[in-house]
Amino acid sequence: MYEYRKMTPEQRQQVVEARMASGYPWHAPPHFTGDNTYLLSAACYEHSHFLNTPSRLSEFFDILIRGIEHDLQGTVHAWVVLPNHYHVLSQVDLTAFRKWIARLHNGKSTQWNREDRTSGRKVWHRFSDRLIRNERHYYASLNYIHSNPVKHQHVENAQDWPWCSLHEYLEKVGREQLVEWWKAYPIQNYGKGWDEH
């Protein structure tokens, strides 16, 4: 989204023509359907901090995770919710998720705009999905999600961010296993350019 805004009209036209020729949506990554594992992400519009209270963060993550697992019968492997975006590593039917998340985003936008007395304010940009290709991609995504609160300087230690699945992993697999995964599947430049703000 941000790179596109920086392009000249001629560069934008070239990008759109290339996407059309490839059969991709004009202004979005291609979406693959089926019951696969994805890194699902969405950012608030202009990366504004609309999830700006503990109660909003808690309510949103609860609805997001419960909805994927119960409403969509998906499996959530890892997740993080931050004041201006979220990431979920999930096995889910993408077509069903696309419709469901549109309703959730719309409902939360309406609620938060009412609470903030900002009728009509745009709250969400659309979500993105990245198909997980292999084991390396899966564990790098897991590490990226769990390090996200530190990356965005919300906390110095990832364990201090309560709206993240890291706590579940510490209980389930332990610190040693997490350290092994961190070393074996480093994130390096993973996510560069996705959520820089």
Supply the CATH number for residue 144's domain: 3.30.70.1290
- Specify if 76 maps to a domain: yes
With respect to residue 70, please indicate whether it lies within any of the assigned structural domains. yes
By residue count, the chain amounts to: 197
Whether 103 is covered by a domain: the verdict is yes
Give the model's confidence band at 26: pLDDT under 50 very low, under 70 low, under 90 confident, else very high: very low
Residue 74: inside a domain, yes or no? yes
Which pLDDT belongs to residue 9?
78
Going by pLDDT thresholds of 50, 70 and 90, the confidence category of residue 8 is: confident
Half-sphere exposure of 114 (CA within 13 A, CB side): 6
- What Rg, from alpha-carbon coordinates, does the chain have? 17
Residue 18 lies in a domain: no
Residue 105 makes CB contacts below 8 A (sequence gap 6+) with 42, 123, 124, 127
For residue 105, give its domain range. Answer: 30-184
Name the domain count of the chain. 1
Instruction: Look at residue 90 and tell me if it is in a domain.
Output: yes
- Report the candidate in 87, 100, 120, 128 with the shortest Cα–Cα distance to residue 112: 120
- pTM for this predicted structure: 0.79
Tell me if 119 is assigned to some domain: yes
State pLDDT tens for residues 80-114. Answer: 999 999 999 999 999 999 999 999 999 999 999 99
Q: Is 142 helix (H, G, I), strand (E, B) or coil?
A: helix
Q: Is 116 part of a structural domain of the chain?
A: yes
How much is the average pLDDT of 114-134? 92
